[in-house]
Structures are given as C-alpha cells and as structure tokens.
C-alpha cells in the first residue's frame, strides 16, 4: 500500500528546504529521527543536498521531486532527507567526500544513498526522471538501489565500509608542516595551469576561485591580477548594462562559466564568492571591480537587518516561467522580475563580507563599505554571537538554525571583526573577536544531529576551510594581542601538508601557513595618516584615545602608541615613530 506524503519542511529554517515543502516526497531534515526511522523500517536513507539558488537543483526538483511516481518510490523504499548545503556545510562536506568514490562529476544537486547507520554506499548528482544522454533515470536508480538493498544487503554494507576506509586513509598525512617558502612556492606553481588564450585556470569550465586569488595576492600579485581580470572582463560592457565574463551589470560576479572563453555563465551569485573577490579587487587596486562589488553587496544581497543573504538565485520568472539568467539576459528596461534571494544568513559568509568591506574602507576610505561592514557586524553580534559559546551557524527571518556552528563560522566572523577594528580603531570588535575565538569549536567536530560521518581530508572549497579560517583568525589576533597562546593554537590547528600537493584545493591553508611561519608585520597609524600609508599591508588605524583603550583591553600592539605617527613593527619590535 502506498504511504502518504508527510512533508515536514514548511517550517524549516532554510529557504531551500521550504521550496520542497509541497513535493509529493516524504521529506525529513537531516537528524537522528530520520536514521532511527530507517533502522525501524529496514530501508536505506536517500539524502538530497542542494541550495536555494542552484539552477540544476531547481531542474531536478521540477522533473523528479515534483513527480508523484518518484514520490511514491521514495516513500515506499527509503527515508528521504533534504539537506541545505548552506545550512549544513558539515553534512555536505562529508557526503561530497563520500560521493567522490562513485563519480568525478561532483556538484549539486548531490544525491547520496546511505545505510540506516549513516554509511554512504552510492552517490551521484543530477538524475533526470528517465534516462537521458547517458545519465541514468532517477526512477531506474531508485529501483536498482532498492533491489540491491533487499537482495544483497551484505554487499551494500561492504561497499559502504570500503568507502569509509578510503576516506580515513585519504585524510592521513605524512611529513613535516611546510615553511613559508614551501607554501608560497606551491601557490606560485598554479601559474602552470593558466589558460594562455582565454585567461583563468584550466581549459574547461572557469571559476573565479576567490580563495586562490586572495592567496596569490601575497605571492604573485601579477598572476592574481590576470586571473581576476579574466573573470571580470571588460569595464565598458558592464558600464553599457550587460555582463562581461562573470561580472553582471550591477557589479556582482556569477558562480562560474560553462565555457573556456567565459561566454556562458551559470547565473547564481554567492556571497562567499563576491565577498572574497571584493577583498582581492581592493588589494589589487581594481577600483571599478571593487566599487561594483560594494554596490552589489549593499543593493542586492543586504537584508533589512543589516546582514547579507547567502545568495541570489540563478533563475528569474519570465512570462510565468522560471528561466536561468532571465533577468541578466533581458534588456535593462524590460521589467523582468529580479531573481529571488536565498535569505539564509550564514555566519561564515557574513564574516568574509565584513572583512572585505572593512579592508576596502581602510584602504580606500569607502564610507559606504564601512557602514555595510558595521551593519552586518552589529547584526551578527546581536543575533548569532550574543553568547560566543553558543555561536549560531545560520538563521532565517531571525530564527536560528539548529545546525551546529562550524570552525569556519568562528574564524571568518572573528577575522571580519578584527579587520573592522583595524579600519576603525574601535576596540569592541576586537574584544568580541577574541571571545568568539576563545570559544571556537574544533575544526574536526562532527554534527550533533544524525550519524557521525567520516570526513575526508580538509580542503578549501569556495571559502576557507574550518582549519584555515580559524588558524588565520587566531594568527590575526596574535598580531594584535601578542599572546603566544593564540599563535601556538593556530599552528596546532593548521595542517597544510596535503595542500602542498594540491594547492588549488588548499590555497587558504597555504596562505595562513606562510603567515604563521613568519613574524607578523604591522603598521600602526595613530591619528590621521596619509592615504598611501593606509594602503600598506598590515595597516591599523586608531586615534590616540582608541589606542589607549585597546592597550588597556590587552592588545599589546597598541601599547605606548599614542602620538600621531606611523609605527612600523615586525614581531612586536617597532621602529621609531615617523611623524606625518
């Protein structure tokens, strides 16, 4: 007898999950209850991972999850679980690692089948309802998986255990931690992958690879500049109201291009990409790109409370139909409805935005950027970090998600707050950052809900890994506090040995590793410094009164620095002050 749908997603703290609330699928959220039901019924778990602004997630939703026949197959033979990768990055990372054992075509939607004990045994990405162009049909996949589970359960569990063992082995590393020279050499070596004809890296799909660009600014700014320019395209095209390569007419960058020549973007726009690209553009002096990104963050992604939405959708509604890129491809005066936002407020992504906006404000005196950074920081401290020991990973309409905060949340938010102190001299941001880092979770911590998943090797994706984010923030705190415990903790947390072998998968880790291996270099600017000094690496601006307050709060870098002057310091040893 067919089981009725009992969808539980209407009140989820995720726009993505709510989009599936009307599916004829008996969806659950990831958690202990779903796996307990699977054990009770003796059926596998089907986990579908995606996000609210993903075009192919929408396609699979319309084609498969809205199909009553698919809903019946899932209800009868599986426990179906929906996962928002933005809300549950821990689950997404673990399932993506397991999926790599079954397919090289990794991405979203991610479709993973697990035993009731939480061991993945088969995975893929997008499945159409029926076989198409060499892709298996989803109904056929469900039938084959169900048959294998019923007739060969020992073989299925054996496959799952082999995947877990492979993940454990891939996470193991040997050798010594890299020094600064080795980390920088590994980053510089990515130049070999530069596309000499069209720019960017590789000869297939083109991603802006923001964490890599940010790391390359320290190592090879010319290469970083070429890679950014290749993604940004032509200022004249953008100024004329079109899009150029990955840069839209309102300044924001699309997720990636499907063609080597950058000609066909996928139109979703993510906060993590645009925040980090703002940081890169500011450091490289790409004024038109940076100013456009500040405008995009403020005009498009900023939510009424001051925080930033996690993404803008790839699809727009045109003549009653959902069309990928519809708004971007229409003439500016066509009146096409803008793409919707995924309104989830994610702590790590907002921290990256705060940091980038603060760096822009410090270096270029951009008041709009400063106000955006302050507004987001105020919101996060009031709603996500009111209790640093109970940091919130994400919220929707002010309702906190039950998902556990990650090391990346703590690290990225703390780095943003420390950058805001450097731009404003205001001690409150640094004090809050220190409290967040003191209570930060271990990067290896697993989810509190659902089975403990085997993690593969830590890697940077579209944003810094938990290791890199937390270690980087601790190093920045050390540069301000002089407390060696912060530096020691950063060094213990960070393991960049795997990143040496594959720098494109670990650029943020290599960037932090190089910095940890050398004494911090800072430029303390008291009073009203000239613009060229504010643009130097390691700049920190404060009034004499702010410097005294920071020193009293335990930030040793500011001790004795109250005269209007520039203080150049390396490892807390400072040259004589240079008056302006």
> Which tens digit of pLDDT belongs to each residue from 550-563?
999 999 999 999 99
pLDDT at 6: 63
Distance CA 4, CA 7 (A): 9
Distance CA 124, CA 101 (A): 10
Distance CA 490, CA 488 (A): 5
- pLDDT-based confidence at 3, cuts 50/70/90? very low
What does the mean pLDDT of the chain come to? Answer: 92
pLDDT at 199 over 90: yes
Helix or strand or coil: residue 311?
A: strand
218 token code pair: 């320290």
Cα–Cα distance list, 157 to 114, 152, 166, 293, 563 (Å) = 9, 9, 14, 48, 69
**Residues 15 and 343: beta-carbon distance below 8 Å:** yes
Residues above pLDDT 90, as percent of the chain: 79
Cα–Cα distance list, 18 to 83, 427, 496 (Å) = 11, 40, 38
Cis peptide before 521 (omega within 30 of 0): no
- pLDDT-based confidence at 148, cuts 50/70/90? very high
Distance CA 450, CA 33 (A): 8
Could you write out the DSSP letters of every residue in 358-426? Answer: HHHHHHH--HHHHHHHHHHHHHHHHHTSSSGGG-BSEEETTEEPSSBP-HHHHHHHHHHHHHHHHHH--
pLDDT at 5 over 60: no
* 24 burial level (CB within 10 Å; 0-12, 13-18, 19+): middle
pLDDT at 447: 59
Question: Please, where are the H alpha helices in 453-506?
Answer: 466-481, 484-493, 497-501
- pLDDT-based confidence at 496, cuts 50/70/90? confident
260 token code pair: 């080597």
Residue 63 DSSP class = I
Domain segments of the chain as ranges: 15-171, 519-580
The average pLDDT across 271-300 equals: 98
Distance CA 300, CA 339 (A): 10
Does domain 15-171 bear CATH number 3.40.30.10? yes
Distance CA 112, CA 70 (A): 16
> Which tens digit of pLDDT belongs to each residue from 206-259?
999 999 999 999 999 999 999 999 999 998 888 888 888 999 999 999 999 999
pLDDT at 1: 35
The average pLDDT across 60-71 equals: 94
Distance CA 472, CA 355 (A): 12
Spacing of C-alpha 244 from chain mean position: 24
């Amino acid at each position: 007898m067919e089981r009725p749908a009992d969808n539980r997603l209407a009140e989820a703290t995720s726009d993505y999950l709510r989009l599936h609330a009307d599916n004829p699928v008996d969806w659950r959220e990831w958690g202990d209850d779903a796996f307990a039901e699977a054990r009770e019924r003796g059926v596998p778990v089907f986990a579908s991972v995606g996000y609210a602004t993903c075009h192919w997630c929408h396609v699979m939703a319309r084609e498969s999850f809205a199909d009553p026949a698919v809903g019946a197959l899932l209800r009868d033979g599986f426990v179906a679980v929906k996962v928002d990768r933005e809300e549950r990055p821990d689950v997404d990372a673990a399932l993506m690692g397991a999926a790599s054992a079954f397919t090289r075509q990794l991405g979203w939607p991610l479709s993973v089948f697990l035993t009731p004990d939480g061991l993945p045994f088969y995975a893929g990405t997008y499945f159409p309802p029926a076989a198409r162009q060499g892709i298996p049909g989803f109904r056929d996949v469900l039938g084959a998986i169900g048959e294998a589970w019923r007739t060969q359960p020992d073989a299925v569990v054996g496959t799952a255990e082999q995947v877990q063992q492979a993940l454990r082995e891939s996470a193991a590393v040997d050798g010594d931690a890299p020094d600064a020279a080795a980390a920088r050499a590994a980053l510089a070596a990515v130049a070999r992958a530069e596309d000499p004809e069209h720019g960017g890296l590789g000869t297939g799909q083109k991603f802006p690879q923001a964490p890599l660009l940010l790391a390359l600014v320290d190592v090879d700014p010319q290469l970083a500049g070429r890679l950014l320019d290749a993604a940004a395209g032509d200022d004249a095209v953008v100024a004329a109201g079109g899009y150029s390569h990955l840069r839209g007419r309102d300044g924001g960058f699309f997720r990636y291009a499907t063609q080597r020549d950058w000609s066909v973007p996928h139109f979703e726009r993510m906060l993590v990409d645009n925040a980090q690209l703002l940081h890169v553009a500011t450091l490289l002096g790409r004024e038109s790109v940076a100013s456009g990104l500040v405008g995009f963050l403020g005009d498009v992604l900023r939510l009424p409370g001051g925080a930033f939405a996690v993404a803008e959708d790839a699809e727009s509604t045109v003549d009653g139909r959902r069309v990928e890129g519809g708004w971007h491809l229409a003439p500016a005066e066509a009146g096409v409805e803008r793409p919707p936002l995924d309104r989830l407020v994610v702590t790590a992504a907002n921290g990256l935005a705060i940091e980038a906006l603060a760096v822009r404000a410090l270096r270029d005196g951009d008041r709009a950027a400063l106000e955006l950074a302050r507004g987001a920081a105020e919101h996060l401290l009031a709603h996500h970090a009111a209790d640093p020991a109970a940091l919130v990973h994400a919220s929707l309409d002010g309702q906190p998600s039950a998902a556990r905060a990650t090391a990346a949340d703590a690290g990225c938010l703390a780095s943003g707050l420390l950058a805001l102190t450097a731009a404003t001299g205001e001690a409150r941001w640094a004090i809050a950052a220190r409290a967040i880092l003191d209570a930060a979770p271990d990067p290896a911590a697993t989810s509190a809900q659902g089975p403990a998943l085997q993690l593969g090797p830590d890697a940077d994706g579209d944003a810094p890994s938990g290791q890199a984010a937390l270690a980087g923030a601790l190093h920045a705190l050390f540069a301000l506090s002089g407390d060696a415990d912060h530096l020691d903790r950063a060094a213990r947390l960070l393991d960049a040995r795997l990143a040496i072998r594959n720098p494109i998968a670990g650029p943020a880790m290599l960037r932090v590793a190089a910095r940890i291996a050398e004494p911090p270099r800072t430029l303390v600017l008291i009073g009203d410094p000239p613009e060229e000094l504010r643009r130097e690496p390691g700049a920190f601006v404060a009034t004499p009164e702010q410097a005294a307050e920071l020193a009293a709060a335990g930030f040793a870098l500011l001790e004795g620095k109250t005269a209007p002057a520039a203080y150049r310091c390396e490892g807390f040893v400072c040259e004589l002050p240079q008056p302006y």
